[in-house]
Amino acid sequence: MKKIVLIEDNDDLRENTAEILTLAGFEVLTAPDGKAGVELALSQKPDLVICDILMPVLDGHGVLHLLSRNPETAAIPFIFLTAKAERSDFRKGMEMGADDYLTKPFDDIELLNAIETRLRKATQRNNTGSSQETIAELINQFPTQEFSRKSFVFREAQHPKGVYYIHSGKVKCSQANEQGKELITAIYDAGEFFGITDLLQTGPYTTSAIAMEKSVICLIPTEQFLSAIFANRELTRQLFKEMSGDVKSREERLLKLAYDSVRKRIAQALAELAEKTGGNSGEPVPIVISREDLSHLAGTATETVIRTLSDFKDEGLIGLSGSKITVFQPEKLWKMRN
Amino acid sequence: MKKIVLIEDNDDLRENTAEILTLAGFEVLTAPDGKAGVELALSQKPDLVICDILMPVLDGHGVLHLLSRNPETAAIPFIFLTAKAERSDFRKGMEMGADDYLTKPFDDIELLNAIETRLRKATQRNNTGSSQETIAELINQFPTQEFSRKSFVFREAQHPKGVYYIHSGKVKCSQANEQGKELITAIYDAGEFFGITDLLQTGPYTTSAIAMEKSVICLIPTEQFLSAIFANRELTRQLFKEMSGDVKSREERLLKLAYDSVRKRIAQALAELAEKTGGNSGEPVPIVISREDLSHLAGTATETVIRTLSDFKDEGLIGLSGSKITVFQPEKLWKMRN
DNA sequence: CGTTATATTGAAACATCTCAAGGAGGGTGG
DNA sequence: CCACCCTCCTTGAGATGTTTCAATATAACG
């Protein structure tokens, strides 16, 4: 429910107007003079302020001036409601930064229309359509490309052109050290974006992205992606959250790589893969991943992965048949001791 | 230079007005009718649109309607400029979403004031003051607290109350695994924020923050921090960049931890510390850090750190005296082979 | 100036990697 | 349909880097 602060010294007019607004479905907070009105607006952060000009204590111009000065209230739509109908009065009000100027007497429709208009504009400014819509619009705007298994989406040292979105398939992002040893830093599935981190940094990719299976992917050019982010507050929030999640998950992996045994690391890698593929259904989850990729994920040698997997098999935690690994008891894998 | 689109069918008025605006330092693009005006606005994305109402081909209401519908132009301030001075005309214009309504005849000052006002409001909406100012305002708004060496700023499993800013001192953030082995995930110096990642995630801290020396720190409550971020586009950009940098640096450390020898990891940790403390001056840089903290940074045992350090000393790369480590040749440390 | 925290050294235990060689499966062409 | 190849998986055994435990030396602090 939208919150409106109404500042008006005439008791009758204030009560009447408040009633109309309440009937129209707004939450109305009233103040009988400018000073009280400013305090109310600062504390309540309403969605809109309606204010008389001629008032005791602090007049409407003063109210607007004070609210404009405070970053927290500067963006709130402000409507003057006044008997001063002279052109010069109107100009002064607008020049001070009011968003509309209603002269008394006004009828209810005029008032409600004026409010609706300003609320609509304010909403539009913060949020150009809903988040979901924007993402859908964004990704469907650009042509898709098909990548076959093992082909590069982008390579280390290339320059980022934008962000990638996976329509279908699966992509691994990996880095290699000087000796050519590879570590998979992330695996992305259908419906996810990747390449954001490198985009926001200056300079070329430090990561390579390779399709793990046949994948359909589109590229959203830098400009469009950035303007979409900044145009949409909800998208900004979401992206912040995802990035902080990325930081956290990498920190967790750091901790594991530093002090956990290979056995434990492989167990966790499997558990994570199982979770990503099958959810927490409790059912056995089949995972298809090469021993090599698994070793790159756990940061170990392929042979060690193989030995550890056969241990897990002997212990009844997983089943093996070729490249397919079936996870029977994800919980036990999570809680693996060294 | 601010760009203004002026749509007016009367040739004299259009030319005159354009001249005034040009003299006032604006870049002016003109269109003689609504259709041309809309095309111009869509292609040029001006900072403000001034538009007559009574025009051939497409009238001012139509122009406003079309521009409002397009997310790319909806937020551009729109001023009507018209001979229709009736109250009902004025109301209609405002209800359609115009930001101001100037009636002819108007004088130059009125026009320029109206433009200034709307541009100012538009700027204010996107950017509440400059980034630097906002940060300074933000951090000085909250009381500081002094933390002595080795005291906790926050602990794992506590709930985040906000973001911390270091006025002076140094703080390490670390995580521990089940066996109590600790890994330092980041070290923050004076002038830096920390605790952002955990704030943006739901749930308690997964990290502990401990002062490495006597430090003066303030806490910016969640609400204020978030509203500052969203109020200020420049701050958003900066934060995105920093977070993607965080992700990247952690990925680099993952790679090192996975495949590099302890020797190399310690060398890099030293080089990074040296860079952070002394810059790239080429001068020997004295670092004060305990062997234990260094081991937590490199993800290894304290004894190993000690042995490696004395190797480095024998090789003339560093100097040792108690807890003080002097880095002579940071470049050689960076390029250390296994 | 004693007391505690931190740094150092040695030697054995251990996990993991590396190298090397063999085996299973899956697809392709004759 | 079989032989062939290539890729991926598997197993063994020695080499190696790192940790751990334990004992001692040195520095830091009130």
pLDDT reported for residue B31: 95
Q: How far apart are CA B120 and CA B159, in angstroms?
A: 40
Identify residue B54 by its one-letter amino acid code: L
* Mean pLDDT score, B238-243: 91
- Taking the C-alpha atoms of residue A166 and residue B229, their distance in angstroms, rounded to an integer, is 29
Residues in chain B closer than 8 A to A230 (CB atoms):
233, 236
Picking from B50, B65, B76, B100 by the largest number of A CB atoms within 10 A of its own CB, the best residue to mutate is B100
| Percent share of chain A, pLDDT over 90 | 69
Is the minimum CB–CB distance between B113 and chain A shorter than 8 Å?
yes
Q: What is the pLDDT of residue A276?
A: 86
The residue written with tokens 């300003």 in the block is: A118
| A-chain residues near B68 (CB < 8 A) | 124
| Of the partner residues B175, B181, B199, the one whose CB lies closest to the CB of residue A251 | B175
A263 touches strand C (CB under 7 A): yes
8 Å CB contact of B257 and A252 = no
Q: Which helix (H) or strand (E) holds A144?
A: strand A144-147
For the cut 80, the answer to whether the pLDDT of residue B155 exceeds it is yes
pLDDT of residue A310 exceeding 90: yes
Please give the structure tokens belonging to residue A244.
């902080």
Given a cut of 60, whether residue B129 has pLDDT beyond it is no
pLDDT of residue A194 exceeding 70, the answer is: yes
Chain B residues near residue A257 by CB distance under 8 angstroms: 254, 257-258, 299
Using only C-alpha atoms, what is the Rg of chain B?
Answer: 30
From the list B103, B246, B299, which residue is nearest A247 (CB)?
B246
Residues near A129 by Cβ (< 8 Å), separated by ≥ 6? A137, A232, B71
Is the pTM higher than 0.85? The answer reads: no
> Is A259 close to B299, i.e. CB distance below 8 A?
yes
Chain A with chain B: Cβ pairs closer than 8 A: 173
List of B residues 295-334 with CB within 7 A of strand C: 302-303, 306-307, 309-310, 320, 322-323
Partners of B177 on chain A (C-beta within 8 Å) are 255-256, 259-260
Chain-chain contact of A244 with B200 (C-beta, under 8 angstroms): yes
* Secondary structure (DSSP) of A42-101: HHH--SEEEE-SS-SSS-HHHHHHHHHHSTTTTTS-EEEEES---HHHHHHHHHTT-SEE
Cβ A240–B240 below 8 Å, yes or no?
Answer: yes
Separation between Cα atoms, residue B21 and residue A287, nearest integer Å: 67
* B74, B91, B257 member nearest A124 (Cβ): B74
A259: the nucleotide nearest its CA (via C1') is D19
pLDDT in tens, A11-29: 999 999 999 999 999 999 9
Q: Is the CB of B44 under 7 A from strand D?
A: no
Q: Report which DSSP code applies to B9.
A: S
Beta strands in B126-258 (DSSP E): 144-147, 152-154, 162-168, 170-176, 182-189, 193-194, 208-211, 215-221
Mean pLDDT computed over every residue of chain B = 90
Q: Determine if strand D comes within 7 Å of the CB of B262.
A: yes
CA–CA gap between residue A210 and residue B149 (Å, rounded): 46
Please tell me the distance from the alpha carbon of residue B59 to that of residue A118, in angstroms, as a whole number. Answer: 22
In this complex, do A177 and B75 lie within 8 Å of one another by their Cβ atoms? no
Q: Quick one: pLDDT at residue A127? A: 56
pLDDT range class, residue B312, cuts 50, 70, 90: very high
Cβ within 8 Å, pair A177-B256: yes
Q: Which of B113, B129, B256 sits opposite A71 (nearest CB)?
A: B129
> What is the mean predicted confidence (pLDDT) over A304-323?
91
Q: Which amino acid, one-letter code, is at B298?
A: A
pLDDT in tens, A243-273: 999 999 999 999 999 999 999 999 999 999 9
Q: What is the mean pLDDT of chain A?
A: 90
What residues of A are in contact with residue B125 (Cβ under 8 Å)? 74-75, 125
Candidates B227, B170, B158, B224; CA nearest to B194 is B170
Contacts A176 to B, Cβ<8 Å: 255
Nearest to B3 by CA among B40, B57, B53, B55: B40
- The pLDDT-based confidence of A175 (bands split at 50, 70, 90) is very high
Which is more confident, B332 or A204? A204
Q: Coil, helix or strand for B311?
A: helix
pLDDT in tens, B35-60: 999 999 999 989 999 999 999 889 99
Q: Give CA–CA dist A308/A267, Å, rounded.
A: 9
pLDDT at B128 over 50: no
B153 closest CA partner among B142, B164, B144: B164
For position B126, what pLDDT does the model report?
Answer: 64
- The answer to whether residue B177 scores a pLDDT higher than 80 is yes
Distance CA A319, CA A299 (A): 22
Nucleotides of C under 7 A from a protein CB: 6-11, 15-20, 25-26
Structure tokens at B308: 């490696």
Strand order from edge to edge, sheet including A193-194: A144-147, A215-221, A162-168, A193-194
Is a pLDDT exceeding 60 seen at residue B127? no
* Mutation site for B-interface testing, chosen from A69, A73, A81, A100 by largest number of B Cβ within 10 Å: A100
Distance B262 CA to C12 C1' (A): 20
Amino acid at B65: H
Q: Which of B70, B137, B247 is the best mutation test for A, with the most CBs of A within 10 A?
A: B247
pLDDT 10s digits, A107-162:
899 999 999 999 988 887 765 444 455 677 788 889 999 998 889 999 999 999 99
Residue with tokens 């990996």: A174
- Nearest CA to B206 out of A250, A240, A268, A184 is that of A250
What is the spatial distance between Cα B256 and Cα A1, in angstroms, rounded to a whole number?
A: 53
Using the Cβ of A189 and the Cβ atoms of chain B, whether some distance falls under 8 Å is answered with no
Residues 6+ apart with CB under 8 A from A134: A128, A228, A231, A232, A235
d(CA A69, CA A53): 18
Q: Give CA separation, B325 vs A199, A305, B312, in Å.
A: 37, 39, 11
Query: Average of pLDDT values for B70-99?
Result: 91
- Which tens digit of pLDDT belongs to each residue from A196-236? 999 999 999 999 999 998 899 999 999 888 888 887 777 88
Identify the pLDDT of residue A215.
92
> B329: pLDDT confidence band, cut at 50, 70 and 90?
confident
The pLDDT assigned to A131 comes to 44
Is the bond preceding B105 in cis, omega lying within 30 degrees of 0?
A: yes
Say if residues B174 and B296 touch (Cβ distance below 8 Å).
yes
Residue B300 beta carbon within 7 A of nucleic strand D: yes
Give the integer Cα–Cα distance in Å for A84 and A335: 74
Residue of chain B nearest A250, judged by CA positions: B250
Q: Give the residues across from A163 on adjacent strands.
A: A220
| Chain B residue with Cα closest to A177 | B255
Q: Is A183 on the interface with B (CB under 8 A)?
A: yes
Q: How confident is the model over B262-290, as a mean pLDDT?
A: 87
Please give the pLDDT value at position B133: 55
Which range has highest mean pLDDT (A60-74, A159-173, B111-125, B276-290)?
A159-173
Task: Confirm or reject contact between B240 and chain A (CB < 8 A).
Answer: yes
- Angstroms from A221 CA to nearest CA on chain B: 17
Nearest to B94 among A100, A129, A253 (CB): A100
Q: What are the beta bridge partners of residue A228? A: none
Q: Which residues pair with A189 in a beta bridge?
A: A170
- Nearest-angstrom CA–CA distance, A293 and A291: 6
